[in-house]
Amino acid sequence: MKIFIDTANLDEIRRAAEMGVLDGVTTNPSLVAKEKCNFKERVIEICNIVDGPVSAEVVAVDTAGILSEGREIAGWHKNIVVKVPLIDDGIKAIVQFTKEGIRTNCTLCFSAVQAYIAAKAGATYISPFAGRLDDIGHDGLEIIGQIRQIYDNYGYETEILAASLRHPKHVLEALMIGADVATIPGSIISMLTKHPLTDKGLASFLADWEKVKDLV
């Protein structure tokens, strides 16, 4: 499963990239707003740090507007994937972007049938938001499992990009389901290597080594 980082924060991106296991980046208008930065400049900076897919979202909600914004955004850098909301006008735009060879990430997906339509439109990625479904008492990971089965049943090549992941267990569940990508906030990526028994075991190995290291 590929790991994308879900942020527009450059320090977080650099930290995750330094570990060598980062495959891409997703942003959205709320993440960009948090950084109080220029959208275009920030997206290009991100593309120059991570040589992988970088999702940048349109804010138009009509097909013509989505197409015009998306074409412009896609022209900023070769790494860019145009993020398009899962609405009728967005689906129409994805069909056209697909014909033009522009990669898309169909976002704000909350059901498996929505994901089915996005795949038919030719979306490169589908982003089901697990955490936001959990927030309203649904099972976000169950929907990702349904999407996996639908895509496998019919051979859709759209990649499942598990999004709105809130804790390491979400990441584990995405792995078990067979999501193609997980987009993860920086704070959760840092948690993925942590286990108290690892720390305890390491402390005890190092302490024991101190006792013998000078013996000849």
51: tokens are 């040589």
The reply on whether position 105 binds ligand G3P by CB under 6 A is: no
Q: Which of 3, 9, 24, 28 binds ligand G3P (CB under 6 A)?
A: 28
**Residue with Cβ nearer ligand G3P (131 or 178):** 131
The reply on whether position 173 binds ligand G3P by CB under 6 A is: no
The reply on whether position 129 binds ligand G3P by CB under 6 A is: yes
Calpha distance 196→182 (Å, rounded): 24
Calpha distance 132→139 (Å, rounded): 9
Angle, vertex CA 182, rays to CA 178 and CA 183, nearest 5: 165
Per rule CB under 6 A, count of chain residues that contact ligand G3P? 9
Q: 7-16 burial by CB neighbour count: b if 16+ within 10 A, else e?
A: bbbeebbeeb
Q: Which residues fall within 8 angstroms of residue 16, CB to CB, at 6 or more apart?
A: 3, 5, 22, 186, 189
The reply on whether position 6 binds ligand G3P by CB under 6 A is: yes
Q: Which of 131, 168, 178, 186 binds ligand G3P (CB under 6 A)?
A: 131
Catalytic residue among 40, 83, 92, 99: 83
Helix axis angle for 10-18 and 39-49, nearest 10°, is 10
The interface with ligand G3P within residues 132-161 (CB under 6 A) comprises 132
- Choices 71-79, 97-105, 115-123, 126-134 (CB under 6 A): range interacting with ligand G3P: 126-134
**Residue with Cβ nearer ligand G3P (96 or 168):** 168
Q: Is 83 a catalytic residue?
A: yes
How many CB atoms neighbour CB 191 within 10 A? 14
The reply on whether position 114 binds ligand G3P by CB under 6 A is: no
Residues that bind ligand G3P (CB under 6 A): 6, 26, 28, 129, 131-132, 163-164, 183
Give me the active site residues, please: 83
